[in-house]
Structure 1
Amino acid sequence: MVPRYFFDIHDDAVIIDTDGRDLSDRQAARGEALSRGAAFAADPQKLGGSGVVVVTVRDGPDRVVMRLRLVCQIEDVAD
């Protein structure tokens, strides 16, 4: 049986994944978490004001198997 993973997004708001995705293993779930986090970090409209996005990966309603935290920080420096 292929495990189902859920990818909750936390930035300035929380988006709970209620559908999940069937993936072969945790390594595939890690890749999916990276992909989803990168999509938020790459789009200024999606990335919250804190510049931090966390993807919490679950394999059931209450069982967290990993977290991905991306920090996107841009600093203007003097010329």
Structure 2
Amino acid sequence: MPRFFFDISSDRAIRDDEGEDLADTETARDVAIRIAAELLPVHTRQLAQTGRVAIIVRDENGEIIHELECRLTTRSPGAGRH
């Protein structure tokens, strides 16, 4: 089974040096989505400050195969209207 690594990027980078053995790249994508769902409540302060939290999935060769990015954008009501 191939090994995949899940790095977290927000106000600082957290590199996954352990990884996880998974069946394929689609399963790795599903795991990245689950990780993002678990991390967003924990990283709300970083998301508010940086506007971004990302999960970067690497394969055994270090190649990026998926990047899941969550962004926070705020708009004021009526902004952009004249």
TM-score above 0.5, yes or no: yes
**CA displacement 1:31-73 (0-9 Å, x = unmatched):** 1111112222222356462131111100125211111111134
Structure 2 stretches of 5 or more lacking a match?
78-82
CA RMSD of aligned residues (A): 2.1
| Higher helix content, 1 or 2 | 2
Q: Is the Cα–Cα contact under 8 Å of residues 8 and 55 in structure 1 kept in the other structure? A: yes
Greater Cα radius of gyration, structure 1 or 2: 2
Following the alignment from structure 1 to structure 2, what is the Cα–Cα distance between the partners of residues 15 and 3?
21
Q: Is the Cα–Cα contact under 8 Å of residues 48 and 72 in structure 2 kept in the other structure? A: no
Q: In structure 2, do the counterparts of structure 1 residues 15 and 61 end up closer, same or farther at CA, with 3 Å as the change threshold? A: farther
Percent identical residues: 32
TM-score, normalisation: structure 1: 0.79
Structure 1 stretches of 5 or more lacking a match?
none
- Give the 5 Å matches for 1:52-71: 52-71=52-71
Q: Which amino acid aligns with 1:11?
A: S
